[in-house]
Amino acid sequence: MLKDSLMEEHIPARAGHFDVIVAGAGPAGLGAALAAAQQGARTLLLEAKASMGGVAYAALWMPFNRIQLRNGSRGGVHGQMVARLTSYGSVACRPGKRNMIDGDNLDIHPEYLKLAAFELLEEAGCMYLVHSPVTGVTMEGPDLKGVIANYKGETHTFTADAFVDATGDGDLAFQAGAPMAKGREEDGFLMRISLVFALANVDEERFFSYWEQDNGTQLKRVIAQAEQEGYCTSWYVFDRTTLPRVISVNNGGPLQLGNLDGTRAQHISAAERGGLQVALDFVKIAREKSIPGLEECFLMRTGASAAVRETRRIVGEYVLTEEDAREGKEFPDTIARKYGGFDSNYFHGPMDKGYCNYPYRALLPQQVEHLLVAGRCGSATHLGHAAGKSMGNMMALGQAAGIAAAICAAEGLAPRALDASRVQAQLRTMGVEL
């Protein structure tokens, strides 16, 4: 229930000092902020956009993959999030697809996801600010001391004992001077940027029967013909939602625009504009070509923002590779498992064990102290990142980083000096499988 003391208790009005600061409120950032606050750390979560949830919010019922484990709880923050969402009823979430990439997921109403995030943060005692992008840092040599957040010219510097970069693009680590990598090693290829959209007035049973009966072959023929006729097309993946006669449409964005980089304003602007064209043209194609179940569909809305799959990654103390992921390599400092398979726009395939292990060292950027980096900007090669890049797995990386940050803040340790076994022990008490 909303209280009149909301701003005093959870939304800071001015700069100050915290035990832990987390930048970015997507799945990784939520995992980090909740875990840190629940460990007793005075925690601040800063989010650049208007909402909590990152891609899980912006992508309109696109499956929150791997938020569960074998249809049961992953423990920790995952279990808390699922319990809160299911408490809202069937309008908030529903089970989704169960394939190698999409398994153990929920299709979540984006507004209920946002509400769950706010409620859980408040109950954990975590403070937060949205519309607060991190635009700079303060350093003393290699030591990260503070972050600068700016909203419409109102600038605040927040200091902390430990920081977690969960921005997705590695903005905090980049500004602090950490070495970074970007894209596929051989050519700089980046996974596609997608503006997901939702269609209403859909005959769901007829459409999914049509789409699933031949792995989408008939639909692909229709799209190929439409492309020849000048429509802006892409690849498409469809999901059910929690609303009647509404489906969610994931896609590859405007393929005609080439290799787009989400850290460049010109490129992300093109992705937003092109993504809108993809959505509107798909509705025209569906109606004009009488795609079964979509003959009278219309565009309900596009996502809150374009969803970026890959940009910067830190070069950490350990870099997770394709071979590590494929073989399920064991590490003495494993702090999370990434479940699923390889999910890159040019390569899909299984991992030998159905998961790969993620070491604590991959959370630690080189050359910067007091910082941990979690989520898609963590330390991995292009395909090391693509292995189990699902949102639930990113939340697991954030959860581990938040626990580590809380311990370091409480004891005055640098993350590089922390024994990873202490993080592992805490994760196990939370029901996390390592």
pLDDT digits (tens, 9 = 90+) for 317-335: 999 999 999 999 999 999 9
Is it the case that residue 255 has pLDDT exceeding 90?
Answer: no
Q: Quick one: what percent of the chain has pLDDT higher than 90?
A: 91
> Do 169 and 53 share a structural domain?
yes
Residue with tokens 């509705």: 283
Please indicate, yes or no, whether residues 167 and 203 belong to a single structural domain of this protein: no
Model pTM score: 0.97
Q: How confident is the model at residue 71 (pLDDT cuts 50, 70, 90)?
A: confident
Is 178 contained in some domain?
yes
CATH number at residue 398: 3.50.50.60
Compute the mean pLDDT over every residue in the chain, rounded to the nearest whole number: 96
46/126 same-domain check: yes
Name the domain boundary from 284, 302, 320. Answer: 302
* Same-domain status, 160 and 47: yes
Q: How far apart are CA 156 and CA 148, in angstroms?
A: 6
Asked whether the predicted pLDDT for residue 138 surpasses 90, the reply is yes
Same domain? For 119 and 256 the reply is: no
pLDDT digits (tens, 9 = 90+) for 47-61: 999 999 999 999 999
The pairing of beta strand 197-200 with beta strand 247-251:
antiparallel
Q: Pick from 267, 302, 337: which residue ends a domain? A: 302
Q: Are 387 and 406 in contact (CB under 8 A)?
A: no
Q: Quick check: is 360 in a domain?
A: yes
What separation in angstroms does the CA of 211 have from each of 24, 99, 108?
36, 16, 22
pLDDT digits (tens, 9 = 90+) for 146-160: 999 998 888 999 999
d(CA 88, CA 379): 36
Using the predicted structure, report yes or no on whether residue 183 has a pLDDT greater than 90: yes
In a domain, 191, yes or no: no
Same domain, 176 and 209: no
Calculate ∠ Cα 16-22-27, nearest 5°: 150
Total structural domains in the chain? 2
Assess whether pLDDT exceeds 90 at residue 5: no
Q: Are residues 281 and 384 in the same domain?
A: no
Altogether, the residues listed in the chain come to a count of 434
Residues 102 and 224 in one domain: no
Residue 100: pLDDT band with limits 50, 70, 90: confident
1 in a structural domain: no
Q: Which domain holds residue 204?
A: 197-302
Residues 207 and 180 in one domain: no
Two tokens, residue 373: 């980096």
Asked whether residue 93 is assigned to any structural domain, the reply reads yes
> Alpha-carbon distance 356 to 368, whole Å?
26
Domain boundary among 247, 276, 302: 302
- pLDDT tens by residue, 223-238: 999 999 999 999 999 9
Residues 150 and 218 in one domain: no
> Residue 373 domain-assigned?
yes
Let me know whether 144 and 162 are in one domain: yes
pLDDT tens digits for range 292-318? 999 999 999 999 999 999 999 999 999
Q: Is residue 375 part of a domain?
A: yes
pLDDT, tens digit, 9 for 90 and up, residues 357-378: 999 999 999 999 999 999 999 9
| 375's tokens | 């989520």
Residues 45 and 169 in one domain: yes
